[in-house]
A and B are shown apart, each in its own frame.
Chain A
């Protein structure tokens, strides 16, 4: 198997990853930094799996910012197909071209029309093809891979292992510069073994108390450190309950923002009671939290 186009590593060490990502506004821990470093070194796609709101997509964005690359995003959904992921011929334009040649008296012969309508001009490039054709640094984010159908995984396999796409009418497009690939998944379904094997696996869970506090303070810098501490402890207590949807990092940040907007300086029972809707989005979860934490 031909090795995909090589590329100089972008990071020099694990601590370099941590430093540059945090400069881009993403606080890593050892696991994240090591895995990102390895993905960069080994030139493998990075598969990030974890519950919603733990910063999977953020990681890709920060990676793009840290390496001065452009982020190209392929959002997966049920029913995503080649035409939406890879490329598509702009058949409307092609039809117009054919009709135009019929209308004009000179009557260009079929061959020239044929060559013409399968040219660059009529090709609609979708995220995967775009990412492969770019010559500048690129981070390709394939978001919520688990939402896509199994067939799409087959397509991804081909693209991610060789970084080339074959378009029958045009020939094979080979990447001149391998994009950094990040796949995310909420683990609603098991991705195929073949796809997982080609990727480095990073399981993102809720962060440690310390890291979460740092994240809160870096994202909501105006929050008093004491309140941030209290907030993180409460969030952790909520996560320990068996809720339908445990509060994620993004909800912690929302909560911090809310407290700041409301000008609350301590997180007591009334403050939590009033703002619980920011973190818990199910009525049953709210009831449960209120009962377990003795809010009333």
Chain B
């Protein structure tokens, strides 16, 4: 299926692919499917139609055109772009393009030996050019430069198994991070440091450095694909979609992504809970209003009016394990709690490690989640002895100190992995809580096959409470819709 490695230079739609353009598109669509983006047959057909309408020589038109039929969500775009760059690569000779397009003599770096300008080695000169480009901030120029830099610096020594390309080699040779201070100087243009202007400029530099890094990565991937086959590179290049990301493995950078997904999820959960309130029978007949309205139809009561039903305010109690083993997950669930607080007044949150404390007060509407999490760690009384989870004690403390919190109107949600460090799980206490509540669920961030392994009491808990596997945001969304 792969195009011959020697011919990546063909313009956007390489006619060299077996099966022609249609076959090539088919491979692209399959790669997108493999990356976890669902593409239906009708979409694939539409994509073929796109090829007949757009200007195939304009790569960006093709990119956006195919995106319009193949994608259905904004967050799929990054993966799509990565794959697009692999399947519809730019030509192989940026230097040749530069020779036509570039007038500032930059190809001197690639072609000529140093000519009396001093003993600067190529890396040093590239570095200077990079500094200039970063200061100007022209994205296209920067991308072109990245391609050249990879060609010159990104290559390992040829070995029998073929060439290899690495972005770290480029980054090490150019060390763009060390350019920050001089760039800052340039952007501030002599203005004073330390104030808002500097913060803004720093942000801008960060952004440009990132786009340079991305451009280098893209180019390295393209060259690797030439050497080792596109399919292999495609598999390793694609990160999982944010909503498929495992909570327990989330990195610091992923958390921001996750945080962005929480707000809509909480809103959906809120709508879910309040839709219950709205649906069902209408309230008692409002006689006066009905007669009034009937005057408009000559005294015939065509529309009956009803009094609104009494609103049942759902109460939600969240009991959350915040010990180190589930840090990523609990951070996320606390964000969800915070978001829920903004929709409901009747949300109470409790956190525990080996003792329990109410943490509702940290989540006043409008408070910052990261800040709240930090304060909980500092101020809340969640650790009784040594800071390892003790579900039994935590549940007992909860039932003891807040005996009236869980009542017949309450939905109880327990969040945790159920790993008790071989201590008594406190099953009777939980069973009692479950019985008193209107509904109770336990969200477990561990994969189902690990439940009950080692010190996990998940299976025992599952006997008394409805336990749901909740490893990523997608599963949480599923849970919300079944609620």
Contact = CB atoms under 8 A, between A and B. Distances in A.
Contacts of A208: 139
A200 B256 contact: no
A42 B52 CA distance: 11
Contact of B203 (A42, A188, A203, A237): A237
Contact of B42 (A197, A200, A244, A269): A197
A9 to B, nearest CB: 10
Interface size band for A: 35 or more
B40 A197 contact: yes
B49 interface: yes
Contacts, number: 118
A114 interface: no
Contacts of B367: 284
Interface stretch (A27-35, A115-123, A125-133, A151-159): A27-35
A91 B198 CA distance: 66
B300 A95 contact: yes
Given A203-B74, A236-B207, A284 B366 contact: yes
A188 B54 contact: no
A294 B42 contact: no
B50 to A, nearest CB: 7
A35 B64 contact: yes
B450 interface: no
Given A34-B54, A233-B200, A293-B199, A196 B72 contact: yes
Contact of A202 (B68, B195, B196, B297): B68
A248 to B, nearest CB: 15
Interface in A186-216: 187-190, 193, 196-197, 200-203, 205, 208-209
A295 B196 contact: yes
Contacts of A283: 366
Contacts of A202: 68
Given A197-B40, A200-B68, A201-B71, A234 B200 contact: yes
A91 B302 contact: yes
- Interface of B, helix, strand, loop or mixed by DSSP: helix
A205 B76 CA distance: 13
Contacts of A96: 297-298
Interface size band for B: 35 or more
Interface string A10-32: 00011000000000000000110
Contact of A30 (B60, B203, B297): B60
A14 B297 contact: no
Contacts of A38: 50, 53-54, 65, 68
Interface of A: 13-14, 30-31, 34-35, 38-39, 41-42, 49-50, 91-92, 95-96, 99, 187-190, 193, 196-197, 200-203, 205, 208-209, 233-234, 236-237, 240, 242, 244, 268-269, 272, 282-284, 288, 292-295
18 contacts: A14-B55, A30-B60, A30-B64, A38-B68, A92-B297, A92-B302, A187-B264, A201-B71, A203-B71, A203-B74, A203-B77, A205-B74, A208-B139, A234-B200, A237-B204, A244-B366, A288-B368, A292-B199
Interface of B: 38, 40, 42-43, 46, 49-50, 53-55, 58, 60-61, 64-65, 67-69, 71-74, 77, 137, 139, 194-201, 203-204, 206-207, 256, 259, 264, 267-268, 271, 296-298, 300, 302, 366-368
Given A197-B72, A202-B68, 6 more contacts: A34-B61, A39-B68, A189-B264, A209-B137, A237-B200, A284-B366
